[in-house]
Amino acid sequence: MDGQDVKILAIESSCDETAAAVVVNGRDVRSNIISSQIDIHTLYGGVVPEIASRKHIERISQVTAGALEAAEMTLDDIDAIAVTYGPGLVGALLVGVAQAKAIAYAKKLPLIGVHHIEGHISANYIENKELEPPFLCLVVSGGHTHLVNVVDYGVYKVLGRTRDDAAGEAFDKAARAIGLGYPGGPKIEKASYRGNAEAILFPRAKVGGSEYDFSFSGLKSAVLNYLNGCRMKGIEIVPEDVAASFQKAVIDVLVDNAMRAVDQHHAERFAIAGGVASNGVLRNSMAAACRERGVEFYHPSPVLCTDNAAMIGTAAYYDYLAGKRDDWTLNAVPNLRLESV
């Protein structure tokens, strides 16, 4: 390590993970500490915003100190503080923003606010050192489903987005209906390996108007209708078949839209990001579709797909190089749009 290196301490608290990381020169992750609240929210079947904020307050200092310690650094080694400032739960975001501002102010360090989705996209840079823009990226998480043209570092054009539920939200709601519990994505994936994806034909929604937009609320209703119909007619429900068939319906739509964009934009590189990108069946389907086209396919490891602070540090590095700095007016923006960055 020399004086030219840029060492960023990054903080992420937009939903139910309290996370901090130290990232050197954008792609060298020295530490990545994630304190998950999943066990607590599982009791309620989903994230309870008020509880999330309180838990972030309890844990943020320890997680931040843990990230520095694991990186074998102190705040004196750090060149900039990065933090997710939106989109997300306002009370949860505020905890990270307040922590980042306090450290930056006390240590007279530059402060960089990062868009959460920009973080998810940037997770792809960490393990794929050769990946550079331009490329297309499908961001599929609990709160977002965005098909993005990554034109350059920090320059994004959103080609399509969900009109209603996010892909991860659909997984969570379907899992709840099937009785698999929370969080739904990993539970549905696990069950799907023991089920028949052709057992039930669920709808593949096409959205009028925009060729790259998504809609998953109809699929959720179709799952509920199927389950109710079975119960009324006394037909046995095979949860694994429902899980596998539902998952296939989601993945078919994601692959279809993404590959239409790849073809029409003559993209040479395609990436996936966000919590749902840790789904093995989705990865394999996307990898196969890219292989057919001779397109290079990228995805982060599962731990970098779900919420983490390393991806925020990576995104912040390119903002840092571009001279982007925030001041003490930086605030949580729960509905921050990607194209505003």
Binding positions for Zn ion, rule: CB under 5 A: 141, 307
Q: How many residues bind ligand KG4 (CB under 6 A)?
A: 20
Q: What is the pattern of x (binds ligand KG4, CB under 6 A) and - over residues 1-20?
A: --------------x-----
Determine which residue in the list 141, 145, 215, 285 makes contact with ligand KG4, applying CB under 6 A. Answer: 141
The backbone torsions φ and ψ at residue 163, rounded to the nearest 5 degrees and listed phi first, read: -85, -15
Q: How far is the C-alpha of 127 from the C-alpha of 105, rounded, in Å?
A: 32
Determine which residue in the list 143, 160, 195, 313 makes contact with ligand KG4, applying CB under 6 A. Answer: 143
Q: How far is the C-alpha of 157 from the C-alpha of 242, rounded, in Å?
A: 35
Q: How far is the C-alpha of 173 from the C-alpha of 120, rounded, in Å?
A: 22
| Least distance to Zn ion, CB of residue 119, Å | 7
| Least distance to ligand KG4, CB of residue 93, Å | 12
| Least distance to ligand KG4, CB of residue 77, Å | 29
| Least distance to Zn ion, CB of residue 141, Å | 4
**Helix ranges restricted to H, 25-115:** 38-42, 49-70, 90-107
Site for ligand KG4 in 159-178 (CB under 6 A): 168-169, 171-172
Residue 298, strand partner residues = 271
Q: How far is the C-alpha of 4 from the C-alpha of 7, rounded, in Å?
A: 9
Tell me whether residue 31 is exposed, middle or buried, using C-beta atoms within 10 angstroms of its C-beta: 0 to 12, 13 to 18, 19 or more: buried
| Least distance to ligand KG4, CB of residue 184, Å | 5
Q: Site residues (CB under 6 A) for ligand KG4?
A: 15, 141-143, 168-169, 171-172, 183-186, 189, 274-276, 278-279, 306-307
